[in-house]
Every structure is written in C-alpha cells, then in structure tokens.
Amino acid sequence: MSDIGKIARENVEAYSSGNWDQLKASLSPDCVYDEIGTQRKMKGADELVQAYQAWKQAIPDGKGTIKDT
C-alpha cells in the first residue's frame, strides 16, 4: 500500500471510530479542506477535526470505507 493510501485509511478509520487524536495526527497542521457543496473552506487540522466532529454528531453511525487507492 502506498503512503497516501495508508494515510487515507488512517484518516477514515479515525473518523469512523471517533478517534479525534488519531485523526488530527493524520493531518498536516496547515491542511486545507474545500467543502465544495457548501463552499466552506477549512484551514488547519484543528478546524478540520472540529468539522469532522460536527459531521459525526449529525450522523453518529456514519462510517467511511476506502476500497482502492
């Protein structure tokens, strides 16, 4: 598995399990996330983790799966 695949899986697994420390560790401190549907832009790991937490609260049984990288 490529490094990017490993990082993507760690990120999705952390979200699915609600492990916010692991999720933050998988992100670059200066990451940028463009949420196309809402036109919201999140900057930095802390802001992105807060968004993930809100999504998890809104959809508590939501889980992600990566099938191929």
Q: What is the CATH number of the domain that holds 20?
A: 3.10.450.50
Q: Is residue 31 part of a domain?
A: yes
Number of compact structural domains in the chain: 1
Q: Is residue 68 part of a domain?
A: no
Q: Is residue 11 part of a domain?
A: yes
Q: Is residue 17 part of a domain?
A: yes
Contacts (Cβ under 8 Å, ≥6 apart) of 3:
none
Q: Is residue 63 part of a domain?
A: no
In this predicted model, which residue has the larger pLDDT, 26 or 19?
19
The residue segments making up the domain with residue 48 are 3-58
Reported as a single tens digit per residue, the pLDDT across 22-56 is 999 989 999 999 999 999 999 999 999 999 999 99
pTM (2 d.p.): 0.81
Q: Is residue 23 part of a domain?
A: yes
